[in-house]
Amino acid sequence: MKKGKNKKMGQYTSNWRAGDQPLIFIYLLFKHGAYRQIDYLFLVNKEECVAYLSQQGIKQAYNLGTKLLKKQYADQLIKRIKKYQKKLKIRKVLKKIPVNDLTGKTKLKIWKEIKKIYIEFGQIYLFCEQPVLAPLEEMAVKILGSAEKLLNVFSDPKLLNKINCTSKEKNILKNYFYLSKEKILLHQYFTPWAEALEKLAKNLATSYKLLPEQMLFMLPPEWEKLMLKGTHPVLKEINQRCRGVVLCQKNGKIITRTGKDYRKWRNKIENSQKNILTGLSVYPGIIRGKAKIHRSWLNSRKDLKGHVLVACNTNPQIVPFLKGVKAIVTDEGGLACHAAIVARELKIPCIVGTKIATKVLKDGDKVEVNADKGIVIKIK
């Protein structure tokens, strides 16, 4: 565990995102580039990872998002996204990963390719995150006059040509719709690379007589020392990280803390959470049912029929299993997120952006989802 004074307890109150990504995944995305501009904290263990923003972090994300209102800035970002998508589709290096007899240098070369993809993904994907997209979404609603009109245009882009607005306003609308849809596509194109990191971790674990989960909770420099010199990390520290690790920034550097520090942060944050959740209604309806929690980036739950899906967010992989779902509740998202689009298409009551649904609710909890008012209540 790295030394240093703790950050102020209780400072991080806004649940920003949740999933099941391991420490190496989070470290690669958040160490470099854009994400360093906002104040965040992660709680990560073998089962889940949850990110929180401080009030300062919320303001920083919003201020970053205001740059998207400027045509030149947005145009440069969109150009970069299109170029990056082409890189994501070139996957020749990924075909080598299952081979067990690769030399250390060859494995290092594959690792560096994956690492580059991850770092650039982190530099781009932030601008598709809801806290950053918020200024663009607010302006889009203002231009169109209501959230309902925004949803109608999003569902039928041809309506955009019939809207009476200035060229500047039309550019803002186009950029909002583009970035909202690109978040889904970036997730889809990046998935093989996320799977590749886990495959490489398993390969290296076999080669160096470690457990896959130990590889996934090592840091990039530790991977590189292992591949270049065969230097194993201190396993006591790695095993502590698997049980729980805090990842945050301090003086511009990424730091990790385990053991008592992790437990203090987890207890402090989780004890402040409530049983009544509020979010943004994107398709109306009032239902009661039992919750099914879904946090995975790569996998889907197939036992959702007749239940309320409670997820960090949704992705294209889960759509085939949504038939018969009573309602959808997510931690993340705005008017044009994937869950909102799918819920409207399938006519499923849906509330997005609750921030803490996957933390407050557990599998089997009885809930009332009031998607007319944007409220979820845990029924005792």
CATH number for the domain that contains residue 285: 3.50.30.10
Average pLDDT over residues 230-258: 90
pLDDT in tens, 87-127: 898 877 777 666 555 566 778 888 999 999 999 998 999 89
How high is the pLDDT of residue 14?
A: 65
Give the rounded distance of the alpha carbon of 93 from its chain centre: 25
Is 325 contained in some domain? yes
Residues 188 and 329 in one domain: no
Average pLDDT over residues 297-324: 84
pLDDT in tens, 180-221: 888 888 888 998 899 889 989 998 898 889 999 999 999 999
Residues 345 and 199 in one domain: no
Q: Which domain holds residue 351?
A: 276-378
Q: What Å distances lie between residue 93 and 81, 155, 210, 298, CA to CA?
A: 21, 37, 24, 20
Contact 337, 183 (CB under 8 A): yes
Is 111 contained in some domain? yes
Among 202, 236, 270, the domain-final residue is 270
Element spanning 270, H or E:
helix 260-270
Structure letter (DSSP) for residue 5: P
Among 215, 250, 270, the domain-final residue is 270
Is 233 contained in some domain? yes
Q: How many structural domains comprise the chain?
A: 2
Whether 2 has a pLDDT exceeding 50, the answer reads no
Report the distance separating Cα 63 and Cα 126, nearest Å.
13
* Amino acid at residue number 224: E
Is 150 contained in some domain? no
pLDDT in tens, 326-336: 999 998 888 88
Q: Is the dihedral of CA 332, 334, 335, 338 positive or negative?
A: negative
Is 143 contained in some domain? no
How high is the pLDDT of residue 203?
A: 87
Report the distance separating Cα 273 and Cα 13, nearest Å.
9
Contact 186, 128 (CB under 8 A): yes
pLDDT in tens, 23-78: 999 999 888 767 888 898 899 998 888 888 888 999 999 999 999 999 999 999 99
Contact 142, 92 (CB under 8 A): no
Residues 321 and 202 in one domain: no
Average pLDDT over residues 296-312: 82
Among 270, 296, 328, the domain-final residue is 270
Rg value, the chain, Cα: 21
- How many residues would you count in the chain? 380
* Six-digit token string for 101: 């007899």
